[in-house]
Structure 1
Amino acid sequence: MHVTVIWAAIIALGVFMYLVLDGYDLGIGIVLPFFPDDHERDLIMTNVAPVWDGNEAWLLLGGAALFAAFPVVYSTVLSTLYLPLAFVLGCLVLRGIAFGRRTKNDRMKKQWDLAFIAGSAGAAFFQGVALGAFLQGMPIESHLNADHAMRWLTPFSMLSGLGLVATYALLGACWLVARTWGDLQRRLHRLVWPLTMGLLGFIVLVSVWRPLQDVTIAARWFDVRLFARLVPVPPLVLACAYWMHRAMRARRRTTPFLAALSLVSLAYLGLFASLWPYAIPQSVTLWQAAAPRSSHASTLACAAIVLPLILAYTAMSHRLFRSRIRTVGTPPYR
């Protein structure tokens, strides 16, 4: 397999792992307003505390891999999308501070909860905005003017931002269903299905908007070879939605998260299939954007060490802290 394709697969894996893992703990912040009781919020925060820091390691891996393997994409994305990406980092910092401070000052707990909610929702929204702007394509120029700096601000990127907020909220609610019990779990079950319908609505809107907005995308999607790969996706999405509905009616504990994960995986696979083989949509292919082969080979040796370590740490931390916490302060492991 070509080393460029291996690097593309590593970056795709890193982005997907970040979307799922940091997605569910950002989603916890997004759904927190639905649970105003202080004790319930403490319980929710205690459940996510052992794993939320490690989930963000995938963001660092993706950025470092993009810089090492596809420097043209790294420089273009950073220069064109620096404002939404700066907002993402600012929201993540606010969220991290709020998470640490809310338990140290009871008098300011509600204010820190609001900061945690705002940081979580803001990070999710601006990640979606950056994704939407990336999908619309970016200028490959050495000097970007003020108009280019604001090119990310479009109706489609705003829609993408809201869609990612809905995605993370669904992942967060489903993860909490698996970690809670009693009345709190029942109310989370009631929240999951509306979030699922919201996500399906965003998937339909994006799927219709993109080909109508760009004739190049329409021609690419309905090309015989790509269309054959994408045809199974809609029926599988409907099957996952039905699976989620059955899980909600039966009040399953872990099935909702598996169904949500399946929906996100299908959307991601559809996105990946429609982008291939471009590193920057409709302008630069993976091979045009790739670093020299010698650089790819040397950095791949580092990735061969780092990637298994991150995978092992992620698996170990989620296995160790897999038990539900029933009381604030209870160790979340068996």
Structure 2
Amino acid sequence: MFSFESFLDLPLVWYALIGTAIFLYILLDGFDLGVGILFPFAPSDQCRDRMMNSIAPFWDGNETWLVLGGGGLFAAFPLAYAILMPAFYIPIIFMLLGLIFRGVAFEFRFKATGKSRRIWDYSFHFGSLTATFMQGAVLGTFVHGISVEGRNFSGSAFDWLNAFSLMVGVALVTGYALLGATWTIMKTEGATQDWARQSARYVLLFVAMFMGLVSLAMPMMNSDIKALWFSLPNFYFLQPMPILSAVFFIMLWRDLRTEREYRPFLLTLGIFLMNYIGIGVSTWPWLVPFKLTLWDVAAAPESQSLLLLGTVFLLPCVLAYTGYCFWVFRGKASHEHDAAY
């Protein structure tokens, strides 16, 4: 009888799948959340219309990856889900409320006029800001670690309110804002593009500052992370990540002073990728940091095999649909209210 577990390390496969889904969510929903963060600061209503239309075909589909990541964690690593969720209930509830409120504002804004449109503009902004900050707080709490006794969460509902998680929340706001600005550079032109280029230069400084602070804080908080990054020969093996991050920053800083339109967005994706890999390396192989590994919390092999069988067919369909959307809606965004392009 055929079974995946006979030749695959299923917990490792699911760890990679969930990690990929979360990364794709960060990149794809990151740029439209970033557009929302920058939204009220755009110089005119026409600029805001262009920004909104640039993400109109993508924003709801981008959230598919969040569902895949969360659903995959629940199905493939139920014990990790049961331990982590009580620690994250409050920020996740606020994140979901922000996403819902943002989606409602997105739809109502197209029908509103005058002062009511301004209300929905700010609703879109604060929904995006709340969702982003809470995602960063969850990430910061995950890296910081939670209180666990045996196989249960033993902390309080407000343990996520610590200095590091709040800093990571603000850091992610600046990071998504950079993604949103470089996306706007790529998808708009004229006054909107010029404003986005200036905004990206300004935000880039804050992204660099927060990246430095987070990178310094993580080894100071955890001796295992410090030993991983600064012991030999690990130090030499892991150097490409910070070096590539620095190269991407320098190239992006230069590109924002030229007329380049596509490479700033790709370089921003590269910066996010290097940081994401860095966090993954720092927390490997823990799924409940730094208490339980991914093998400790995995579901039964039979369950993971069945789930993987469905994912093998579903995931290519989602990827194909996502790629098709980006291909069909390529090009510059219009400011017309009734059409994205």
Same fold (TM over 0.5): yes
Q: TM-score, normalised by structure 1?
A: 0.95
Return the match for 1:27 from 34, 39, 64: 34
Alignment pair present for 1:326 and 2:338: no
Instruction: Look up the SS of the partner of 1:138 in the other structure.
Output: coil
Alignment pair present for 1:196 and 2:204: yes
Distance 1:183 1:228 in 2: 45
Return the match for 1:233 from 227, 232, 241: 241
Deviation, 1:40, is: 1.4
Alignment pair present for 1:277 and 2:277: no
Match of 1:124 in 2: 132
**Aligned AA (2:15):** A
Distance 1:327 1:110 in 2: 16
Match of 2:275 in 1: 267
Structure 1, unmatched stretches of 5+, are none
Greater displacement, 129-138 / 319-328? 319-328
Deviation, 1:327, is: 3.8
Greater displacement, 220-229 / 300-309? 220-229
8 Å Cα contact 2:101/2:123 also seen in 1: yes
Q: 1:143 to 1:285 in 2, by over 3 A?
A: closer
1:168-216 CA distance string (max 9 Å, x none): 1010110010111112211211111221221111111011111112223
Distance 1:225 1:71 in 2: 35
Greater displacement, 122-131 / 305-314? 305-314
**Aligned AA (2:62):** N
8 Å Cα contact 1:230/1:273 also seen in 2: no
**Aligned AA (1:31):** L
Match of 1:138 in 2: 146
1:300-322 CA distance string (max 9 Å, x none): 10111111111111111111101
**Aligned AA (2:299):** A
Greater displacement, 58-67 / 219-228? 219-228
Match of 1:97 in 2: 104
Match of 2:173 in 1: 165
Distance 1:25 1:326 in 2: 16
Aligned-residue Cα RMSD (Å) equals 1.6
Deviation, 1:326, is: 3.3
Deviation, 1:330, is: 7.1
Match of 2:3 in 1: none
Match of 1:38 in 2: 45
8 Å Cα contact 2:110/2:337 also seen in 1: no
Match of 1:221 in 2: 229
Counting only pairs closer than 5 Å after superposition, residues 245-260 of structure 1 correspond to structure 2 as 245-260=253-268
The alignment-based identity, stated in percent, is: 38
Q: 1:299 to 1:226 in 2, by over 3 A?
A: farther
Deviation, 1:46, is: 1.4
Instruction: Look up the SS of the partner of 2:287 in the other structure.
Output: strand
**Aligned AA (1:20):** L
**Aligned AA (2:177):** A
Deviation, 1:140, is: 2.8
**Aligned AA (1:11):** I
Instruction: Look up the SS of the partner of 2:269 in the other structure.
Output: helix
Alignment pair present for 1:56 and 2:50: no
Distance 2:58 2:85 in 1: 28
Return the match for 2:74 from 37, 61, 67: 67
8 Å Cα contact 1:226/1:273 also seen in 2: no
8 Å Cα contact 1:167/1:199 also seen in 2: yes
Distance 1:292 1:127 in 2: 29
Instruction: Look up the SS of the partner of 1:279 in the other structure.
Output: strand
Q: 1:26 to 1:287 in 2, by over 3 A?
A: same
Counting matched residue pairs gives: 332
Instruction: Look up the SS of the partner of 1:288 in the other structure.
Output: coil
Match of 2:95 in 1: 88
Alignment pair present for 1:298 and 2:306: yes
Return the match for 1:156 from 164, 178, 186: 164
Deviation, 1:329, is: 4.4
Distance 1:132 1:41 in 2: 31
Distance 2:100 2:242 in 1: 37
Q: 1:69 to 1:36 in 2, by over 3 A?
A: same
**Aligned AA (2:209):** G
8 Å Cα contact 1:325/1:331 also seen in 2: no
Deviation, 1:12, is: 0.7
8 Å Cα contact 2:53/2:334 also seen in 1: no
